[in-house]
Amino acid sequence: MTTTITRQIVRIDEELCNGCGACVSPCAEGAIEIVDGTARVIREELCDGAGFCLGVCPTGALTAVPAEEEAERLRRTRAGAYLDHLRDTASPAGHVNAAHPSDTVVAPPEEGDGGGASR
Ligand code: SF4
C-alpha cells in the first residue's frame, strides 16, 4: 500500500485580509508578516501548513491548500503582475527606453512619412 502525503501551505485572501496581524504570532515558523497593510506568506518554504494561524483570523482570509496548487496560483499571479508592470512602464512610441533598449516601441509610419503611399 502506498500513501501519498500532500504538503499544505497557507493561502491568504488579500481581499478579505484587514491587516490586523492576529495571524503573525501564532505562526511559530515566522512565515507570515504584515506587508503594506496585508498579511503575506513571506517565506513559503517555512510554512508547514499546520494551520495555527487559521483559527485566529477574524475575516476568514486564511485557508490551507496543497502547496503545489498555491505555487501555481502564485506563478500565474506574479507573471500577470509583471506583465502589467511592463505595460505600465512602456516607453511612448518611438522613444528609447535606456534601461531596456530592447523594449523600445517603434511608431508605425504616418501618412506622408515616405514609403510612396501619399502624394
Ligand atoms: S488574521 Fe486574517 S485579517 Fe488579520 S492579518 Fe492575518 S489574514 Fe489578515
Q: What is the pLDDT of residues 35-79, one digit of tens each?
A: 999 999 998 889 988 899 999 999 999 999 998 888 888 888 877
pLDDT, position 97: 52
Number of domains making up the chain: 1
118: pLDDT confidence band, cut at 50, 70 and 90? very low
Between CA 15 and CA 24, with CA 18 as vertex, the angle to 5 degrees is 110
Question: Is 92 a member of any domain?
Answer: no
99: pLDDT confidence band, cut at 50, 70 and 90? low
H helices of the chain, where?
Answer: 67-88
Q: Which of 55, 45, 62 is nearest to 7 (CA)?
A: 45
Q: Which domain holds residue 51?
A: 8-67
Instruction: Name which residue leads in pLDDT, 48 or 33.
Output: 33
Question: Is 110 a member of any domain?
Answer: no
Q: Does the beta carbon of 17 lie inside 6 Å of ligand 1? A: yes
Q: Does the beta carbon of 62 lie inside 6 Å of ligand 1? A: yes
In CATH, what number is assigned to the domain containing residue 36? 3.30.70.20
Question: Is 53 a member of any domain?
Answer: yes
The residue whose C-alpha atom lies closest to atom 8 belonging to ligand 1 is 17
Atom of ligand 1 nearest to the CA of 53: 1
pLDDT, position 117: 47
Q: pTM of this prediction?
A: 0.63
Q: Does the beta carbon of 54 lie inside 6 Å of ligand 1? A: no
The residue whose C-alpha atom lies closest to atom 6 belonging to ligand 1 is 23
